[in-house]
Amino acid sequence: MSETQERTGSLQDLAALAPVTQDAPVHEVKRDAQGRSYATGRRKDAVARVWIKPGKGEIVVNGRPVGQYFARPVLRMLITQPFLITDRYNSFDVFCTVKGGGLSGQAGAVRHGISRALTHYEPTLRGILKVAGFLTRDSRVVERKKYGRAKARRSFQFSKR
């Protein structure tokens, strides 16, 4: 297999690369009295509070079904990625509240929250999600505007006269 074929693998190929070590720290199961696991996900300015519990695969965002809240299919696909890579699709119900940012940032925050909640519910899934990069908080945010500039970095138009 060539190097380019290795880099363009699917999400299931990434799951096979999850490191299996003897000295890995033991993570404990974190569930509340109702059998739910909770996690917070963040992306850009968006913050998502996510609860997961075993169920039929229903996802509710801010009191609305996921198809109604995230109308774009790309955003819905982004949210379901943690379930697909861990072979847990349609096995957990998700309830989450999201604040701040735009729809894209909110979808990224929900994905991050679902990934973290899955590791709290089933700690054995941590390796798969970590290799896929779903547990890493994407820290890129919009750069602030500076004084003496038109935007964050753009200067005002130069005038010779």
**Domains contained in the chain, number:** 1
- The per-residue pLDDT for 1 is 53
- The per-residue pLDDT for 31 is 80
- The per-residue pLDDT for 126 is 92
* Residue 130 CB-half CA count within 13 A: 10
**pLDDT tens-digit map of 25-78:** 777 888 888 889 999 999 999 999 999 999 999 999 999 999 999 999 999 999
Note whether residue 45 is domain-resident: yes
Residue 14 has pLDDT above 90, yes or no: no
Mean of the per-residue pLDDT values of the chain: 87
**pLDDT tens-digit map of 85-129:** 999 998 999 999 999 999 999 999 999 999 999 999 999 999 999
Identify the three-state secondary structure at position 70.
coil
Residue 96 near residue 110, CB atoms below 8 Å:
yes
Confidence of residue 15 (pLDDT cuts 50, 70, 90): low
- The per-residue pLDDT for 70 is 94
Identify the three-state secondary structure at position 97.
strand
Domain that holds residue 81: 29-132
CA gap 55, 106 in Å, rounded: 23
**How many other C-beta atoms lie within 10 A of the C-beta of residue 22?**
4
Note whether residue 78 is domain-resident: yes
CA gap 137, 124 in Å, rounded: 20
Confidence of residue 9 (pLDDT cuts 50, 70, 90): low
Residue 72 near residue 141, CB atoms below 8 Å:
no
Q: Let me know if 53 is exposed, middle or buried by CB neighbors in 10 A (0-12, 13-18, 19+).
A: middle
Note whether residue 137 is domain-resident: no
CATH number, residue 128: 3.30.230.10
- The per-residue pLDDT for 110 is 96
Query: What pTM, to 2 d.p., does this model score?
Result: 0.80
